[in-house]
């Protein structure tokens, strides 16, 4: 048996006023960081439903960590499984969906007078590590 682990990261850029709202807890839809965490974990578990050629895996662990920064939110996802294939797609999907949920939670504050998003952007979604190692037996 082989343990597979992957980590991914991505960022959503937000206006300073929106970052301040998140920090102060005044986002009308709720805490975007909590939403990101829950949405990312759920998304990792449903990756094979979203990514058409991805195998359905039994995940052993999913950790989604949103971090509020001065210019937005960075999300890191770590996924592990004892499977025959890697879990990098699950980590990437977790990050992407977590970031989309942040956007949804704060979009009313990000729009300009024309209803556009001049600052908001999701960027840098990437795999930061991928590990395959033998399962240690006790």
The angle subtended at Cα 63 by Cα 57 and Cα 69, nearest 5°, is: 140
Domain of residue 51, residue span = 2-133
Average pLDDT of span 7-29: 98
Residues 6+ apart with CB under 8 A from 92: 8, 77, 125, 127
For residue 95, tell me if it sits in a domain.
Answer: yes
Number of independent structural domains in the chain: 1
For residue 88, tell me if it sits in a domain.
Answer: yes
CATH number at residue 29: 3.30.70.640
For residue 73, tell me if it sits in a domain.
Answer: yes
Mean pLDDT of the chain: 96
Q: What tens digit of pLDDT does each residue of 61-115 get?
A: 999 999 999 999 999 999 999 999 999 999 999 999 999 999 999 999 999 999 9
**Which member of 31, 49, 71, 104 is catalytic?**
104
d(CA 83, CA 17): 44
For residue 113, tell me if it sits in a domain.
Answer: yes
For residue 138, tell me if it sits in a domain.
Answer: no
Return the pLDDT at 96. 98
Eight-state DSSP code of residue 136 = P
Percent of the chain with pLDDT over 90: 93
pLDDT of 39 strictly over 70: yes
pLDDT of 137 strictly over 90: no
Query: 104 catalytic, yes or no?
Result: yes
Return the pLDDT at 36. 98
Return the pLDDT at 1. 79
Q: Which helix (H) or strand (E) covers residue 39, if one does?
A: helix 32-45
- Per residue, the 3-state secondary structure of 66-111, as one string, reads EEEECCEEEEEEEEEEECCCCCHHHHHHHHHHHHHHHHHHHHHHHC
């Amino acid at each position: 048996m082989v343990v597979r682990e992957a980590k991914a990261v991505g960022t959503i850029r937000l206006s300073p006023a929106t970052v301040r709202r998140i920090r102060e807890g005044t986002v009308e839809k709720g805490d975007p960081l909590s939403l990101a965490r829950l949405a990312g974990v759920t998304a990792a578990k449903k990756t094979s439903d979203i990514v058409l050629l991805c195998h359905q895996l039994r995940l052993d662990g999913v950790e989604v960590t949103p971090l509020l920064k001065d210019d937005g939110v960075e999300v890191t996802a770590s996924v592990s499984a004892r499977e025959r294939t890697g879990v990098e797609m699950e980590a990437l999907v977790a990050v992407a969906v977590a970031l989309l949920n942040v956007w949804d939670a704060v979009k009313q504050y990000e729009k300009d007078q024309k209803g556009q998003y001049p600052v908001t952007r999701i960027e840098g979604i990437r795999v930061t590590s991928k590990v395959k190692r033998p399962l240690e037996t006790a």
